[in-house]
Amino acid sequence: MLTASVACLVTWAGAASAHGSIVDPASRNYGCWQRWGSDFQNPAMAQQDPMCWQAWQADTTAMWNWNGLYRMNLGGNFQAAIPDGQLCSGGHAENGRYSAMDVPGAWKATDVRNNFTIKLWDQAGHGADYLLVYVTKPGFDPTRQAVGWNDLQLLTKTGKYAPGQYYSVNLSTSGRSGRAVVYTIWQASHMDQTFFFCSDVNFTG
């Protein structure tokens, strides 16, 4: 297991070649890093945040590299490249580093209303050709099911974003309540590099 000092070095090394993530509602690995990055060896995590606990145990670097969940050269053919049940890890991106993101369970969820906004933090200023934003369909239970393509409904496909630090997307659903996963695909503009994010939400009406 990494010591705190080594973990700090990993974090700053990653920042030098940073990419980005959905930070609100937080992606699974960004949320785990945000809540536990300064205290990742605390055994209380196992009870307080069990899905983050299993993720930290599976591969600590997935959280230190929360900004690197991407695949190269997919040519927009995402469904062919990423099998059902592996969407949250980008199809076991980075040799399976992020595979724990696919595990169903009681991930911490952000409360949102039927009209809500997502925010992407583009640390490296890659820009975006587009963002695709999906939500799981009513009846999908992320505590028991891994996300598959047929579980999703498209909320929006955006236009281009010039390189910047944050990109926001306003979204609208109707009559939703309870748990869901918001799935965001970020097609970066600097090369054919595609990022994949699962954000757990709880619709409050």
DSSP state of 181: E
DSSP state of 137: P
The CA distance from 101 to 152, in Å, is 17
pLDDT tens digits, residue range 62-80? 999 999 999 999 999 999 9
**Nearest residue to 40 (alpha-carbon basis) of 6, 17, 67, 15:** 6
Q: How many CB atoms lie within 10 A of CB 89?
A: 25
| Residues whose CB is less than 8 angstroms from the CB of residue 44 and which lie 6 or more positions away in sequence, other chains included | none
User: Which band of pLDDT confidence, cut at 50, 70 and 90, is reported for residue 2?
Assistant: very low
pLDDT at residue 157, rounded to an integer? 98
Q: How many CB atoms lie within 10 A of CB 88?
A: 29
**Nearest residue to 97 (alpha-carbon basis) of 51, 52, 65:** 65
pLDDT over threshold 50, residue 113: yes
Give the N- to C-terminal CA distance of the chain in Å, as an integer.
42
Average pLDDT over residues 38-44: 95
Domain residues of the chain, as ranges? 4-203
The CATH homologous superfamily to which domain 4-203 belongs is chitin-binding protein cbp21 (2.70.50.50)
The CA distance from 90 to 87, in Å, is 5
Average pLDDT over residues 20-45: 96
Q: With beta carbons less than 8 A apart as the criterion, state whether 62 and 98 touch.
A: yes
Whole-number average pLDDT of the chain: 92
pLDDT over threshold 50, residue 8: no
pLDDT at residue 78, rounded to an integer? 98
pLDDT at residue 18, rounded to an integer? 65
The CA distance from 178 to 34, in Å, is 23
pTM: 0.91
pLDDT tens digits, residue range 137-173? 999 999 999 999 999 999 999 999 999 999 999 999 9
Phi, psi of 111 (to 5 degrees): -70, 130
Sheet of 20-24, strand order: 20-24, 115-122, 166-172
